[in-house]
């Protein structure tokens, strides 16, 4: 089933809000401003590739080649959705940093 424009827009907004929320909560609890922006590539790899995590250490040659092939085969709409998730993760770090500069102490 093809991805329609309204579905693409809603998916982009959902990914941005989802990763903003997760990043905001992780930043509050762990007190590390850019934790979600650093973890985001790992999350994207887990979304894109269906290879178990430990296979990247057990057989790196084949798993990384398969990952590169999957990244190359991504559709433009998938790339847009994942980029908006990264934008949400970065915005959560910026928001936490701005709140801490203004004196808000969370946990």
Task: Indicate if the pLDDT at residue 14 is higher than 90.
Answer: yes
Radius of gyration of the chain (CA): 16
Better pLDDT: 11 or 53: 11
C-alpha torsion 85→36→38→76, nearest 10: -10
Residue 28 CA to residue 4 CA, distance in Å, equals 36
Write down the domain spans for the chain: 5-101
Residue pair 18/85 in contact (Cβ under 8 Å)? The answer is yes
pLDDT tens for 79-95 read 999 999 999 999 999 99
- Using DSSP, how many helices (H) and how many strands (E) does the chain show? 5, 0
């Amino acid at each position: 089933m093809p991805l329609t424009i309204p579905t693409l827009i809603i998916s982009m907004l959902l990914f941005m809000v989802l990763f903003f929320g997760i990043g905001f909560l992780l930043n509050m609890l762990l007190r590390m401003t850019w934790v979600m922006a650093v973890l985001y590539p790992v999350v994207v790899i887990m979304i894109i590739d269906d290879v178990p995590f430990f296979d990247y250490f057990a057989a790196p040659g084949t798993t990384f080649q398969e990952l590169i092939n999957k990244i190359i085969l991504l559709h433009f709409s998938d790339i847009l959705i994942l980029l908006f998730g990264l934008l949400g993760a970065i915005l959560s770090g910026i928001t936490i940093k701005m709140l801490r500069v203004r004196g808000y102490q969370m946990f």
